[in-house]
Chain A
Amino acid sequence: DGGITQSPKYLFRKEGQNVTLSCEQNLNHDAMYWYRQDPGQGLRLIYYSQIVNDFQKGDIAEGYSVSREKKESFPLTVTSAQKNPTAFYLCASSASGTAFYGYTFGSGTRLTVV
């Protein structure tokens, strides 16, 4: 079955560490997105990519970095510069470089600072 796979499901980060969240899709979608979800807030866009080797900052990109070397993969690195990284992170994809027909979401990664 086609879909988006996020790993790990749970991730713990120590102070000062960088951690990388994986997102892989086999839907042949052009565009991929990273959102952050906090209690009581809507999903907020971190980064998005419409084609391989190209990506743009979203509303809350500070402290995060991404790469898009393959169409299927869009990993997110949470750097030590992100001061409040504890959140639920969602990866999504859409066809044809537009969200007009709806996103497909992964199952999420819950990141906790310890």
Chain B
Amino acid sequence: EDQVTQSPEALRLQEGESSSLNCSYTVSGLRGLFWYRQDPGKGPEFLFTLYSAGEEKEKERLKATLTKKESFLHITAPKPEDSATYLCAYTNTGNQFYFGTGTSLTVIP
């Protein structure tokens, strides 16, 4: 069964303490792996799309990478405003997304 698993469920970091969030997947025919940021009470905001193993994308303090079995969201020198839930999702048909349960990140000043 296709699925995506995110870890850890929750992560607390001191401001400036770099870390990584993991998204592992068992999907046949993966066409895209997506990262979203969701703030409390709001809809998810698109961050990155990764299409093939070895691909990397960066945006400010965030860097997403993709291997054949997992994706990482690296957060370098995080700030309190990076606190949010980070969701990963995949598509194999191009018509629907399947979401993980998310990692709740808290960055402490």
Contacts and interface: CB of A to CB of B under 8 A. Distances in A.
Given A97-B95, A100-B91, A42 B42 contact: no
A40 B43 contact: no
Contacts, number: 59
Given A48-B96, A99-B97, A100-B31, A105 B45 contact: yes
A50 interface: yes
B94 A106 contact: no
Interface in B83-102: 87, 89, 91, 94-102
Contacts of A105: 36, 43-45
Interface residues of B, number: 24
A38 B31 CA distance: 26
B94 A108 contact: no
A88 B43 CA distance: 10
Interface in B32-71: 32, 34, 36, 41-46, 49
Contacts of B49: 101-102
Contact of B46 (A58, A100, A102, A107): A102
24 contacts: A4-B43, A31-B95, A35-B99, A42-B87, A42-B98, A42-B99, A42-B101, A42-B102, A43-B44, A43-B89, A43-B99, A48-B95, A48-B96, A90-B44, A97-B95, A99-B91, A99-B95, A99-B97, A102-B49, A103-B46, A103-B97, A104-B46, A105-B36, A105-B43
